[in-house]
Amino acid sequence: MILSVTPNPGIDHVVIVPGFKPGQAITHPETHTVAAGKGVSMARAARTLGADPVCAGFLGGFMGRLHIDLTTREGLKTAWTWLDAETRTCTIIADTEQGIATVINEPGPTVSAADWARLCQDVLREAAQASYVSFSGSLPPGSSTEVYGDLIRALMAAGRSVFVDSSGDALRAALAARPTAIKVNGLEAGAILGRPVKTLAEALEAAAELRQRGIDLVALTLGERGAVMVSKDGQWMARPPRLQHIVSAVGSGDSFFAGLVSSLEAGLALAEALCRAVAAGAANALSAAAGEFQASQFAAILAESVVEKC
């Protein structure tokens, strides 16, 4: 079982506007309301790929109750930690003509040390039934990066495989805690290392440098250009096929993460796991909702994806 922890989940209000231009009046757009947060998107994709994920993290208020209702309708398993605060709402405007999306993320509710103490207790309890624990996304305001790092260390000490997909201060705290693996994109890696990471060659160098900080496995994504992975067993590059019609790439990183974690949990080889990860990330771009794609779409893209050892 995969325990997917999202410290700062939300509700995504997705508006599809072909040819979107700021300042225009938009009438009768196609809209979707989706339970969201990077770890929720990851769990949604992981379930499509055959895994058995459980979502955890903070929820609260009216939007928190809506979030629970939406995940229940989807059939996602959950183990939330309840807050006396309001879960955030994020707005996504997807331009299907250009294949790009504008994302407006609220900061999320302010949490206390007592809130984090309850979350740690809940996560450690649920992790007793999990082989893999993943952490996705940002930390809500008021969070202690020290406590976040300590939770990762406690899970590692308990023998769990811990994977982290984050950025900024949360990523720095995770790196210091030395989880099993991290997944970053070029911008996130560049912010940590202080230099641009744009090409696959630069990505391999950056992933190798991050791994030297005591991480067993580092995966680094570069969008449609593909991804790299570095571990003690070697280095790999993988690329998906070029897609003809992109709806929204929001959630593609989460779907990549789902493909990686679910494949490794299933005991697949590293090269196969990376190839499945890039295929899942690409399949996500065919849908408006983050982490949502059809198994048939994934299979078709996987058949055209390539992976090679470097």
Q: Rounded CA gap, 135 and 128, in Å? A: 16
Known catalytic membership, residue 254 = yes
CA 60 to chain CA mean position, Å: 21
- Listed residue (285, 305, 274) closest to 203, CA to CA: 274
Is the separation of the CB atoms in 238 and 222 below 8 Å? no
Q: Rounded CA gap, 257 and 259, in Å? A: 5
Q: Which two tokens stand for residue 275?
A: 């190839």
Residues constituting the chain: 310
Alpha helical stretches, state H, 51-144:
61-74, 113-127
Q: Rounded CA gap, 214 and 217, in Å? A: 9
Alpha helical stretches, state H, the chain:
38-48, 61-74, 113-127, 145-157, 168-177, 186-193, 200-211, 252-265, 270-284, 295-304
Phi then psi dihedrals of residue 257, to 5 deg? -60, -45
Q: Which two tokens stand for residue 217?
A: 């496995």
Could you give the residue numbers annotated as active site? 254
